[in-house]
């Protein structure tokens, strides 16, 4: 894990791999940071450059109390610039999916493809979820993490759950509230409908936070999008079943020649 200075300030990142294949960039959710993508960096780094970024205020990135989802996208693009990544497959989960759509809207030529996991264009209960999250964050992030881990994961692996709690517990509550605003108040139906790059939508069938119906709606909005529902996975589908999550992306990239 490291940080790099960019045109918009310090951006945290983790990186594995090299080679001539198109890189893949990973974007985390509101309750995590770049470390959530460790199983994916380990896997995809064997064949290509794989990079996970922190948003402003998260992990090792500089804070920005007024950041929006578009600012998050700008920070990722600036990070890509500083690392010499002109174009990448962009994979985002939850808030990361929202940021991926925003990044595509800002710079579609930088996106070789999109992979959007457990996310949405607009959440029908977004404002209520945002208000609950803001209130809960004021009681302490570790307490919030302990209360939420059961909804985030189907896996009963004690170590993985402990890692999720520890990561969420370290987030600055103010940064979490900024991230919560960025994700839950999003309405990007028009941006989603304008996407023309190859897109894979993934969702866990046990995800009660961003249910499969929202991924189905997103897939219907994006021309030619593929939908992969993961059985037995919840909101953090990449951690519940890394092998299936990674395999779905491998199959997708192979099919599009990526």
Number of H helices, E strands in the chain: 11, 8
Confidence of residue 230 (pLDDT cuts 50, 70, 90): very high
CATH of the domain at 222: 3.40.50.1820
Residue with structure tokens 């500089």? 62
Q: What is the pLDDT of residue 258?
A: 87
Average confidence (pLDDT) over 109-137: 97
Domain of residue 238: give its range: 2-256
* Count of structural domains, the chain: 1
Distances in Å between the alpha carbon of 232 and those of 64, 153, 214, 244, 256? 37, 10, 17, 11, 27
User: Which positions ≥6 away from 243 have C-beta within 8 Å?
Assistant: none
Do the Cβ atoms of 110 and 83 come closer than 8 Å?
A: no
Q: Cα(148)–Cα(125) distance, rounded to whole angstroms?
A: 17
171 DSSP β-pair partners:
none
User: If we measure between CA atoms, which residue out of 12, 147, 33 comes closest to residue 78?
Assistant: 12
pLDDT tens by residue, 72-103: 999 999 999 999 999 999 999 999 999 999 99
Mean of per-residue pLDDT scores for the chain: 97
pLDDT of residue 1 exceeding 80:
no
Q: Cα(207)–Cα(237) distance, rounded to whole angstroms?
A: 8
Confidence of residue 153 (pLDDT cuts 50, 70, 90): very high
Q: Cα(185)–Cα(220) distance, rounded to whole angstroms?
A: 21
pLDDT of residue 174 exceeding 80:
yes
Residue with structure tokens 């004021």? 138
Q: What is the pLDDT of residue 34?
A: 98
- pTM here is 0.98
Do the Cβ atoms of 85 and 24 come closer than 8 Å?
A: no
């Amino acid at each position: 894990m490291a940080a790099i200075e960019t045109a918009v300030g310090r951006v945290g990142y983790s990186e594995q791999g090299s080679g001539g294949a198109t890189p893949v960039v990973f974007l985390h959710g509101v309750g995590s940071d770049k470390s959530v993508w460790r199983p994916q960096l380990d896997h995809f780094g064997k064949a290509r450059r794989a990079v996970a970024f922190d948003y402003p205020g998260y992990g090792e990135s500089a804070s920005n109390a007024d950041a929006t989802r578009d600012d998050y996208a700008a920070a990722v693009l600036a990070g890509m610039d500083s690392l010499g990544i002109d174009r990448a497959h962009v994979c985002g989960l939850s808030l990361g999916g929202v940021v991926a759509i925003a990044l595509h809207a800002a710079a579609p030529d930088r996106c070789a493809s999109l992979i959007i996991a457990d996310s949405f264009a607009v959440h029908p209960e977004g404002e209520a979820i945002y208000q609950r999250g803001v209130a809960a964050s004021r009681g302490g992030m570790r307490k919030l993490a302990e209360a939420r881990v059961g909804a985030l994961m189907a896996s009963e692996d004690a170590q993985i759950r402990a890692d999720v709690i520890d990561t969420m517990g370290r987030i600055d509550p103010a940064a979490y509230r900024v991230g919560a605003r960025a994700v839950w108040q999003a309405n990007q139906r028009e941006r989603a409908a304008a996407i023309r790059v190859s897109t894979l939508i993934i969702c866990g069938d046990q995800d009660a936070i961003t249910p499969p119906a929202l991924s189905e709606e997103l897939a219907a909005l994006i021309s030619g999008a593929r939908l992969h529902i993961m059985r037995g996975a919840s909101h953090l589908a990449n951690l519940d079943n890394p092998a299936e999550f990674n395999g779905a992306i491998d199959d997708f990239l192979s099919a599009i020649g990526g």
